[in-house]
Amino acid sequence: PGANGESITWDGTSARETGPGGGAIVYAPIGGADVSSCADNVYQTIAAGAGITEQASCSGTDKKNAFAKDLGSIAPGTSKWWGVAILFDADGAASTAHMAWSTFLAGRTADTLYTDVLAEFETWRKPPVVGLDASETKIWRQSESVLRMSMILEPYQESPRRKNHGMVLASLPPGGWHTGWVRDGMYALVAMARTGHHDMAKKGLDFYLDADAGRYPQFVNNATGYRISTVRYFGDGEEEADYSGHPTRNIETDGWGLFLWGARTYVDQSLDTAWLSATTKKGDTVYDAIREGVAEPMVQNLETAGMAMADSGIWEVHHGNRQHWLYTTATFARGFCDMATLARRANRLEDVERYRDLAIKATASIKTLFVDSSKVMAGSLERLAQGTNYRDGATVEAITWSLIAPNDPIAKATLNAFSYLQTPAGGYKRLEGSQDQYDTDEWILIDLRASSAFRRAEQTEKADQLLGWVTAQAAVNHNLLPELYNTRTSSGQIGAYSGSIPMVGYGAGAYQMTLLDRALAFEHTDCGELDVGVGSDGGTGPGGGGVGDPRTGIACACQGGPGSAGNAIMFLVAGLLIVRRRRPLKGFPRRRVVSALASLRAKTRSVRLGLGARR
């Protein structure tokens, strides 16, 4: 509900907030409440240490509710629990939301609920990769939690449209990018698949096939029926290609290749080849949906020379400024290679060679068209043609995706040229030639992916330095990972957290993948030459093979050859209050505990929220 003209009512079991803007919020005390008040002065009363007086209903602007509960005497060395569940229902069905909560609670006390939820969470966790120190383990665990929290699990519904089941957000609140970007989501899903959370990875992949895309064929060479959004999704699962204050939309096709990367990683890690024969919500098989809705639109957007057609790219320059980005072509090369593998897994052998040849063609275009005279990969053909400011951090993925061998002169020259992107904080900005702070700040995604690339190139000291820097920062920032590090003294301390915090795919997912790569638990990268679970021992590709169990350290570092309406959503926050008494306290007879709803603040050392449009 909006802040203006809202109302709160207390019925003895829960307080319900309604008003203009839609939806309803339910505040349900866990263990009941003695007093409920939405009085204007309730916060000041609590702050003054006084009890509150019942006010069961109120209306006006920006109303707040508080509860009081007498927990009785607390003996030395004991504790007592109490809590409040906060639920949101998009349709305003407060009674339905409260009933659903009561069914879930099933009479449990706050401490029992906490114990049960914690036990479920610990059971859900997977063993971390081997070789982690204490700080890395904490960040791994926190990243695992962030990945879990990033996935929307509302029930799928056709009408009114609610097709967001499995959608992964780019960041969690208070980070500004808490929406469903394809690119960020795929880095997250690949991490989920590689760390053993196969059920989540599958839900995320199904989301993309079941959601509603294909709205802008006129921008993608009339590729009708494409299944993956050209940028991101609205909350109901419909494709969104944003303007963000620019005269033209963002139109990006790199997400299509990334989806194939994610799908292949899931199948190879889970051994779930049966998924390819499953039926999507739209009635086709998963394999046919991927082939006709992802791989073939990519073919339609591949130029004769082998590179992907010009698009807005990873850095979202908008369609009016579209370029031939190396990153997009790299996603096509990786994606076609992975499509060849999916064809083999589905026993669609007639497709294997075709997609493998397309992968080879796209990779060849990178090697022949996107390098300068010193063999440095350029971010785009257009910037390379200008002869300056073409170094780009996203080119590192050509190495991490095994398109360019780490000992190839192109890889060596490109990694050496990363010195052009180095920031005062020690890592890398995303590209050259811009004075916009979003471009000049350090990108944690680039730091982490570069760490993996340097490690593959046997520059271990540099790889460890980058990973160690990110780890040290997160260790003093609640083990959370940001979008950016500040690089301007005018904006605060050099290296302070900036951008959207915490990041999901670009942060938590990328961090876990970096640690997996350090343990040599690489992804399979062959192009359909090998059966699932089989490694290879030669060459470089598009393709390469070899992966072991990332949670045992058994691995092979080898490579081989080549329209919406809101419907019922229940959003829940459960706050639990624990009161412990360690020893008798003189002069402290108070037995009444008062809880008030307060703002949740991010507790990073330095937070600058990303506002407005992502660029």
For residues 452 and 160, the model is more confident at 452
Bond before 174 cis per omega within 30 degrees: yes
pLDDT band for position 533 (50/70/90)? low
Question: d(Cα 344, Cα 335) in Å, to the nearest integer?
Answer: 14
CB atoms closer than 10 angstroms to residue 34? 16
Sorted by sequence, the CB contacts under 8 Å of residue 76 that are 6+ apart come out as 581, 582, 583, 584
Quick count: other Cβ atoms within 10 Å of Cβ 580?
A: 11
Reported pTM? 0.88
pLDDT tier, 553 (very low <50, low <70, confident <90, very high otherwise):
very low
Q: Mean per-residue pLDDT for 110-128?
A: 97
Supply the mean pLDDT for the chain: 89
78-89 and 24-30 strand pairing: antiparallel
- Give the per-residue pLDDT at 529: 96
Return the pLDDT at 50. 87
Amino acid at position 512, single letter:
Q
How does residue 603 score in pLDDT terms, banded at 50, 70 and 90? very low
Residue 49: pLDDT band with limits 50, 70, 90: confident
Residue 602 has pLDDT above 90, yes or no: no
pLDDT of amino acid 362: 99
Residue 8 near residue 15, CB atoms below 8 Å = yes
Does 445 have pLDDT greater than 60? Answer: yes
Please tell me the predicted confidence (pLDDT) of residue 544.
40
Note whether 594 and 70 are within 8 A (CB).
Answer: no
What is the structure's pLDDT at 580?
Answer: 60
Give residue 291's pLDDT band: very low, low, confident or very high (50, 70, 90): very high
- Stronger pLDDT, 561 or 184, i.e. the higher one: 184
Residue keyed to tokens 């056709």: 158
Strand order in the sheet with 592-596: 35-37, 66-70, 592-596
What is the reported pLDDT for 90? 87
Determine the pLDDT at residue 539: 36
pLDDT tens digits, residue range 364-402?
999 999 999 999 999 999 999 999 999 999 999 999 999
pLDDT surpassing 70 at residue 421? yes
Is residue 499 a contact partner of residue 483, using CB atoms and an 8 Å limit?
Answer: yes
Q: What mean pLDDT is predicted for residues 48-67?
A: 92
As a whole number, mean pLDDT of residues 257-261 equals 99
In percent, the amount of the chain with pLDDT more than 70 equals 87
Q: What is the pLDDT of residue 556?
A: 31
Degrees to nearest 5, angle at CA 206 with 202 and 211: 155
The per-residue pLDDT for 569 is: 43
Domains of the chain: 6-123+569-596 (no CATH), 125-518 (1.50.10.10)
* 199-249 residue pLDDT tens: 999 999 999 999 999 999 999 999 999 999 999 999 999 999 999 999 999
Among 187-201, 365-379, 413-427, 534-548, the range scoring the smallest mean pLDDT is: 534-548
Lowest-confidence range among 41-50, 262-271, 273-282, 307-316?
Answer: 41-50
- pLDDT at site 584: 41
Question: Pick the residue with more confidence: 538 or 480?
Answer: 480
Position with higher pLDDT, 577 vs 186 = 186
Which amino acid is located at 248 in the chain? T
3-class secondary-structure state, position 195: coil
The residue type of 229 is: S
Average pLDDT over residues 526-541: 66
| Mean pLDDT for the stretch of residues 89-107 | 94
pLDDT number for residue 561: 35
Tokens linked to 435: 């004075």
pLDDT band at 299 (very low <50, low <70, confident <90, very high): very high
Put residue 316 in one of left, alpha, beta given phi > 0 → left and psi -120 to 50 → alpha.
Answer: left
Question: Which range among 171-185, 454-468, 577-591 shows the weakest confidence by mean pLDDT?
Answer: 577-591
| Residue 537: predicted pLDDT | 35
DSSP 548-593: --TTTT----------------EEEEEEEEEEEE-S--TT----EE
Higher pLDDT, 610 or 45: 45
Question: What's the confidence (pLDDT) of residue 203?
Answer: 99
The H-assigned helical ranges of 150-219 are: 182-194, 198-210
Per-residue pLDDT for 538 more than 70? no
User: What integer is the mean pLDDT of 167-183?
Assistant: 97
Residue range 556-585: mean pLDDT, rounded:
48
Predicted pLDDT at 572? 62
pLDDT of residue 554: 28
Residues 461, 467: Cα–Cα separation, whole Å: 10
